[in-house]
Amino acid sequence: MNPTSFMQLYVFMLAAFVGYQIITRVPPLLHTPLMSATNAISAISLVGSLVAAGSDRGMVSTVLGFVAVTAATINVVGGFVITDRMLKMFRREPTPVKDSATKSAESSASPPADAAKVAGGK
Amino acid sequence: MRETFTQLTYLVASVLFILGLRSLTKPDSARRGMQYAAIGMLLAIVGTLVQHEIVRFDWIAGGLILGTIIGIPLGTQVPMTAMPQRIAISHMFGALAATLVGVAEYWLHGADLGAAKMAAVGFEVLFGALTVTGSFMAFGKLQEIITGRAVTYKGQNTVNITLFVITVGMFVYLIVHPENAVIFYTMIALALLIGIFLVLPIGGADMPVVISLLNSYAGLASAATGFAIGNNVLIIAGALDGASGFILSIVMSKAMNRSFQNVIFGAFGAAPTTSAKSASGLTVRSISAEDAAIQLAYAKLVIIVPGYGMAVAQAQHQVRELAELIEKKGGDVKYAIHPVAGRMPGHMNVLLAEANVPYDRLYDMDEINGEFERADVALVIGANDVVNPAARNDKSSPIYGMPILNADKAQNIIVLKRSMNPGFAGIENELFYNDKTSLLFGDAKASLSKLVAEMKTV
């Protein structure tokens, strides 16, 4: 094994260690977004696909690269979009804001609110 | 100069990826963090495109455009209920890219690869290929293109293990003799077969483990690509993905009381056993929506236990509506989420978040289990094995030892159930025959709509 391979192994080990430390702290609440996020991130293999498709080293490499670029791009685009869509949905309960808001609403604007409810009920 | 720029973009991308994942430890910061990670990805792509090596852009442009056209609807249109199969298919795309880059690398350099590079390429196509077919099988099962039940036959384990040993043997042979192309392509073919056989014997309820495992494999294939083409950002991203999938598989298997080997080798040796316990002579008590609504209306604390049945019926919005009505009557509502409820890690959380349930109402098993005793009603919606007391007290049960939600400790239990068919694991559930339990039969969505209507009149 040459020194480069060893450096790569160092990088891999350290990244795996960092990943382990971080990901054990992700709450189960966000496990699905975590999956789609890591999936989007590992679609960085697009970088390798781009080289295969664009370095003009024969038709086989180019076509294989093209399919790989397509597949990886699907994950990059789709992965980040869907992760964002999911994370957007996770909302905290608006308790502290709601308390003061409803109190002031009750004191000032409660009759119209009730009226609206009755109208809605009919 | 250009090389320096490229390497700098990779460095920045790596840092942003790690920060992005770290942001997922808190729901409030998660979205911003992942947006930074996306910027990191964009930088890395630009950094790659300016490299000297890349001389033609026609095929690249075609792939980028085609991928974007397919990727956007996959990101924006897929409903949350279809998320497990969506994740499964994305593992397939990721693994496919890695495999093809590996094949291209071998095609170009073949015999000149040397032992270290050959090991990387071999690892890459091996894990890549089995993840491609494995993920596609998982997708097919979840989408119900193929049967969701476990497919088993006599001698299955022997076949799988033999196949696995032969493939690993080829991998080792290739490291010594990288010039043997026939062995290389045969190995890929066998890895594709292994992927199919790996997922074939896995039933629906075991899907969370498999999806996590394939997540890990796809990540490892990406990391191996990084080794093969000498690219650190690929190694880092792949390692993060691999670690994440690995941790999730362990979390999932712990939640199902499956052993560690069982996770590593996926389905090997996990042939489903049939339950020894039969339910003959026991009777269940059914309840009308009206009576159930009255119970819920006067409850001080209601704990809702959602399961895969809620996802199938797409009933999460009705659940939230019912919860709001209970709260209006003065009751408190909490959601108890079992780690393996549904078909992938975190499945229930995403569905309920989609229905606008605030995430501070969603409780993990450990947080909520102590509270069931105080609960007036435990409302079980389409969950089965995760509330089966047999896991606690029936040593002959296949799920014995699996941690469960203590729904049976609640004062009253209302179970929304389609019929008396047993769950995916095929095990009878004592909870349904408990004196405190009443069953409300019917489709979860229809039953919940009835409950909502009745609640409004109570």
Stretch B3-25: mean pLDDT? 95
Global pTM reads 0.87
The pLDDT score that the predictor gives to residue B175 is 93
Phi, psi of B418, rounded to the nearest 5 degrees: -70, -50
CA torsion, ordered B337, B343, B344, B348, to nearest 10 deg:
-30
Query: pLDDT class for A96, splitting at 50, 70, 90?
Result: low
The pLDDT score that the predictor gives to residue B138 is 93
- Is the per-residue pLDDT at B247 higher than 80? yes
Query: pLDDT class for B378, splitting at 50, 70, 90?
Result: very high
Provide the chain B residues 359-398 that lie in CB contact (below 8 A) with chain A: 359-362, 364
- Is the per-residue pLDDT at A97 higher than 60? no
- Is the per-residue pLDDT at A113 higher than 60? no
- Is the per-residue pLDDT at B271 higher than 50? no
* Catalytic residue (choose from B241, B385, B394, B408): B385
- Is the per-residue pLDDT at B109 higher than 70? yes
Length of chain A: 122
Query: pLDDT class for B334, splitting at 50, 70, 90?
Result: very high
Interface size between A and B, measured as CB pairs under 8 A: 375
The CATH class that applies to domain B289-457 reads: alpha beta
Nearest CB neighbour to A29, from listed B27, B97, B354 = B27
- Is the per-residue pLDDT at B387 higher than 60? yes
The pLDDT score that the predictor gives to residue B281 is 58
* Higher per-residue confidence, B258 vs B380: B380
Beta strands in B144-219 (DSSP E): none
Stretch B63-88: mean pLDDT? 94
Stretch B383-409: mean pLDDT? 87
CB contact under 8 A, A58 and B108: yes
Provide the chain A residues 60-119 that lie in CB contact (below 8 A) with chain B: 60-94
Distance CA(B234)–CA(A47), nearest Å, equals 8
Structure tokens at B312: 């199938």
Tell me the C-alpha to C-alpha distance, in Å, between residue A42 and each of A18, A22, B226, B271, B393. Answer: 15, 16, 11, 32, 43
The pLDDT score that the predictor gives to residue B349 is 94
Query: pLDDT class for B354, splitting at 50, 70, 90?
Result: very high
B458's CB contacts (< 8 A; 6+ apart) are B293, B294, B297, B329
Stretch A14-41: mean pLDDT? 95
The pLDDT score that the predictor gives to residue A119 is 42
Going by C-alpha positions, the residue among B246, B235, B236 that lies closest to residue B211 is B246
- Is the per-residue pLDDT at A116 higher than 70? no
Residue B88 · residue B134 · CB < 8 Å: no
The pLDDT score that the predictor gives to residue B268 is 42
- Is the per-residue pLDDT at B263 higher than 60? no
A37-86 pLDDT, tens digit per residue, is 999 999 999 999 999 999 988 999 999 999 999 999 999 999 999 999 99
From the candidates B59, B74, B112, B132, which should be mutated to test the interface with A, based on the most A CB atoms within 10 A?
Answer: B59
- Is the per-residue pLDDT at B289 higher than 70? yes
The pLDDT score that the predictor gives to residue A109 is 41
Establish if A11 touches chain B: CB-CB under 8 angstroms.
yes
CB contact under 8 A, A75 and B107: no
CB contact under 8 A, A39 and B87: yes
Q: Which of the residue ranges A89-93, B351-355, B402-406 would you say has the lowest mean pLDDT? A: A89-93
Provide the chain A residues 27-46 that lie in CB contact (below 8 A) with chain B: 27-46
Helix pair angle (B232-255, A3-23), 10° resolution: 40
Phi, psi of B175, rounded to the nearest 5 degrees: -65, -35
- Hey, where are the domains in chain B? 1-77, 85-272, 289-457
Distance CA(B123)–CA(A61), nearest Å, equals 19
Distance CA(B452)–CA(B249), nearest Å, equals 37
Q: Which of the residue ranges B35-49, B87-101, B409-423 would you say has the lowest mean pLDDT? A: B409-423
A13's CB contacts (< 8 A; 6+ apart) are none
Displacement of CA B454 from its chain's centroid (Å): 36
Q: What is the mean pLDDT of chain B?
A: 89
- Hey, where are the domains in chain A? 30-91
The pLDDT score that the predictor gives to residue A1 is 65
The pLDDT score that the predictor gives to residue B285 is 86
Tell me the C-alpha to C-alpha distance, in Å, between residue B288 and each of B285, B292, B441. Answer: 10, 6, 9
Instruction: State which of A90-104, B9-23, B280-294 shows the largest mean pLDDT.
Output: B9-23
Say which DSSP state A20 is in: H
The pLDDT score that the predictor gives to residue B399 is 80
Express as a percent the part of chain B with pLDDT over 90.
Answer: 66
Structure tokens at B181: 């192309």
Stretch B293-307: mean pLDDT? 94
The pLDDT score that the predictor gives to residue B277 is 47
Distance CA(B148)–CA(B144), nearest Å, equals 6
Structure tokens at B439: 């069953």
- Is the per-residue pLDDT at B407 higher than 60? yes
Q: Is B385 a catalytic residue?
A: yes
* Higher per-residue confidence, B83 vs B202: B83
Q: What is the mean pLDDT of chain A?
A: 82
Say which DSSP state B44 is in: H
* Higher per-residue confidence, B344 vs B274: B344
Stretch B203-216: mean pLDDT? 86
Going by C-alpha positions, the residue among B390, B149, B220 that lies closest to residue A12 is B220
The pLDDT score that the predictor gives to residue A106 is 43
Distance CA(B86)–CA(B96), nearest Å, equals 15
B59's CB contacts (< 8 A; 6+ apart) are A53, A54, A62, A63, A65, A66, A69
The pLDDT score that the predictor gives to residue B256 is 84
Judging contacts by C-beta atoms under 8 Å, the chain A residues touching residue B104 are: 52, 60-61, 64-65, 68
For B97-117, letters b (16+ CB in 10 Å) and e give bbbbbbbbbbbebeeebeebb
